[in-house]
């Protein structure tokens, strides 16, 4: 991506990180035993990450609202997407799931705090977003119907017909390579990765009061971006290093889970990722302020981490 767009994303990320650090619902005292779980939540949120989901929410708000200056409530709402994503990572890394000890180059939350506290931290971050979104309405920062729409989108995207369903399919696929084809992998990716990315784009569109066409285009953009993102993830699991990725590589092979790299081959997978990225970018061509989001989509197939 060109420097101007990278600077905008960097600025968004700094502001998002600031709101996460100052979030009153995550404040804790180290001398209170019940706050150990809040300490673990803060750790999981602070060990890095590209903040792709909240950035997408902010940029879709900017696209549809026409505002250069983003209101604070948009950042506050966008932060809950990172909390939801982080809860899924905490649970993903645990021995009962992927059994990974590294996340973003640091000890996974359950490794640092123990599986019991890690489990509770994931639970806390799964529930916290609904308090934050409803509080935005209670405080008069967003209309109540907007908060309800955001809560509906997030709960549907993260729940058992969204991200959780994707994780269930991921677990089911272990040692079942003969039963898995490209359609299954697409379905799993749409649930596991695509649903929360779609929620992120819809968050921005809803808060900007986008029209029906805008909501639909944001959704299709996210679906293509989510699938491209997962395909590249599968390729990087085979071709990258733990130092570059900040997490173990070849983990899917170790658990005998089929991936897009297996089904399509590395070259075929990257070709499909580029096709999907182009489709995503095409959804926003009619909007004059969409260059950053279109370039972001096109850059996904070339990412190295």
pLDDT in tens, 3-27: 888 999 999 999 999 999 999 989 8
How much is the average pLDDT of 293-301?
A: 92
Question: CA distances (Å), 243 to each of 44, 229, 251, 254, 305, in order?
Answer: 19, 20, 14, 18, 10
Residue 245 has pLDDT above 60, yes or no: no
What does pTM read for this prediction?
0.92
How much is the average pLDDT of 258-280?
A: 93
CA distance 247 to 245: 5
pLDDT of residue 168: 94
E strand or H helix at 13: helix 3-21
3-state secondary structure of 245: helix
Residue 43 has pLDDT above 80, yes or no: yes
Least confident of 9-13, 41-45, 48-52, 264-268: 48-52
- Residue 29 falls in which region: left (phi positive, over 0), alpha (psi -120 to 50) or beta: beta
pLDDT of residue 2: 83
Domain containing residue 159: CATH number: 1.10.600.10
Residue 53 has pLDDT above 80, yes or no: yes
Question: CA distances (Å), 73 to each of 42, 58, 82, 146, in order?
Answer: 21, 10, 15, 12
pLDDT of residue 237: 84
How much is the average pLDDT of 215-222?
A: 97
pLDDT in tens, 226-239: 999 999 988 998 88
Residue 59 has pLDDT above 80, yes or no: yes
pLDDT confidence tier of residue 221, bands split at 50, 70 and 90:
very high
Q: How many domains does the chain fold into?
A: 1
**Domain limits for position 159:** 3-302
CA distance 165 to 159: 7
Maximum C-alpha span of the chain: 55
């Amino acid at each position: 991506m060109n420097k101007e767009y990278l600077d905008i994303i960097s600025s968004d990320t700094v502001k998002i990180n600031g709101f996460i650090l100052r979030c009153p619902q995550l404040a804790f005292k180290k001398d209170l035993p019940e706050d150990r779980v809040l300490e673990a939540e803060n750790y999981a949120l602070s060990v890095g990450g590209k903040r792709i989901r909240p950035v997408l929410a902010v940029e879709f708000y900017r696209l549809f609202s026409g505002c250069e200056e983003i209101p604070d409530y948009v950042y506050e709402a966008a932060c809950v997407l990172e909390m939801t994503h982080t809860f899924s990572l905490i649970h993903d890394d645990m021995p009962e799931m992927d059994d990974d000890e590294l996340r973003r180059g640091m000890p996974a939350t359950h490794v640092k705090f123990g599986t019991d506290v890690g489990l509770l931290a994931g639970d806390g971050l799964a529930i916290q977003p609904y308090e934050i979104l409803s509080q935005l309405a209670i405080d008069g920062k967003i209309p109540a119907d907007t908060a309800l729409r955001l809560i509906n989108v997030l709960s549907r995207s993260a729940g058992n017909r969204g991200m959780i369903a994707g994780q269930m399919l991921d677990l089911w696929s272990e040692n079942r390579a003969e039963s898995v084809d490209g359609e299954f992998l697409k379905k799993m990716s749409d649930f596991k990765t695509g649903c929360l990315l779609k929620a992120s784009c819809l968050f921005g569109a809803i808060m900007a009061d986008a029209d029906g066409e805008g909501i639909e285009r944001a959704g299709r953009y996210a679906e293509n971006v989510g699938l491209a993102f997962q395909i590249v993830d599968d390729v990087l699991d085979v071709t990258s290093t733990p130092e570059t990725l900040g997490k173990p590589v070849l983990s899917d092979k170790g658990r005998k889970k089929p991936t897009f790299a297996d089904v399509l081959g590395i070259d075929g997978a990257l070709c499909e990722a580029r096709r999907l990225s182009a489709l995503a970018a095409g959804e926003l061509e009619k909007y004059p302020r969409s260059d950053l989001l279109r370039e972001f989509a096109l850059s996904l197939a070339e990412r190295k981490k």
